[in-house]
Every structure is written in C-alpha cells, then in structure tokens.
Amino acid sequence: MNIAVFASGRGSNFSAIVRAVKKGKIKACLALLICDQPQAGVISRAKRAGVKVALVERKDFPDKANFEARIIQILEENKIDLIVLAGFMRILSPAFVSHYKGRIINVHPALLPSFKGEHGIKEAYDYGVKVTGVTVHFVDEEMDHGPIILQKAVPIEKDDTLETLEKKIHRIEHLIYPQAIQLIMEGRLKLEGRKVSIINSVEPGPR
C-alpha cells in the first residue's frame, strides 16, 4: 500500500509517520509528500527521509479545480492508496474528497466535534475545559466533520500553559495517527454511515 502525506508546515506528524514506517508499526510505503508551501520545513524532513516530494503551489494554477486536478494526477502517477493530511492548510473541495472517498484521513488537535478549525488547542485552553485531546477521522465534505477513527483524551492541568498543552497534544498525535494508519492498512476499520468500528479479522486495505 502506498501513502501520500499532505503537509504545509513543520512536519512533526510527517516525521512521526516516517518513524512508524521504519519501525514496522505502519506496514506500508510512504511514497510521497504533497506540499503547497516552498519554504515549509516538512520538505527538508522528507528529503532527509528519502521520501519523494511534489511541490504544488496554488499560485501556479488559474483556479482551485486545476490545482487539485494536478494533485490528483500526481497521486495517480504514484499509485497512492491513502491520503494522510498532516497540517495541510487548504480545504479540499467536495469534488476532490468524493474522488477519494474513504481514502483521506486527518488528525485534529481536539476532541471533535468540539473546537473545530485551525486553532483547536488554543480555543480549548482559552475556554477552560478540563479535558481536550486528539481525533483521527476520515475526511468528508465538511471541515473537521468526518467519521471518527480514534480519539484520545488529554487532561488540562492547573499548571498547564498553552505551550505545555501544545506539547502534550502533539505527543498524542504522534502516537495515535500511526496507529490509525496501520488499522487502515490492515483493513480493520468498518465504516457504517458516520460510525467506525475496529474489527479483529484482517482484510485487504484500500484498493
């Protein structure tokens, strides 16, 4: 199975996936990084890891449809089975999501459906909740909305700052995102409507 990671920033989740693949915790080929930002730190991480990089900048295309058409072309050329969003700062169109239905996943730094959007950690911290966490979910046509694969709670302690909370959240992301990917590779997820169940029998993964 071939995985493509989509990322726009530093790439800490990308590196966690690289480590999991190397340790055999994800039994798949990390075949490709799709990045839309030429200065993103994740590009250097990918090059050090020997992962192929495709830089696709939105400014090079007349509209979003052509931008995404180029990405689809690259994915098809590289025979990608699963798309893993890891800080990709663009909302994918409904047409793109439909094209890869059930084959796009995302990690979000909060317990969905709470605190959707880009600033989930800060919003949970500012709101004063006692527990936040991390969600891995399938991507659908709505932002931070698709069926939930895994969640893990993270308590917010009295002495936590925003910075310490961010570090705690990122540690959990790096733990459960590879777990979710491997469940998909093993064909152990059963999707019924918005509910995802983990099954024991191993079936073929995507495609």
Residues carrying an active site annotation: 108
Share in percent of the chain as helix, strand, coil (round to 5): 35, 25, 40
How far is the C-alpha of 62 from the C-alpha of 183, rounded, in Å?
A: 38
Q: Write out the two tokens for 179.
A: 């777990």
What is the token pair recorded at 74?
């690259």
What residues contact 147, with CB distance under 8 A and at least 6 apart?
137, 138, 140, 191, 193, 194, 195, 196
Amino acid at 67: F
- The DSSP secondary-structure symbol of 130 reads S
Residue pointed to by tokens 């790439």: 11
Of 169, 167, 206, residue with least CA distance to 184: 206
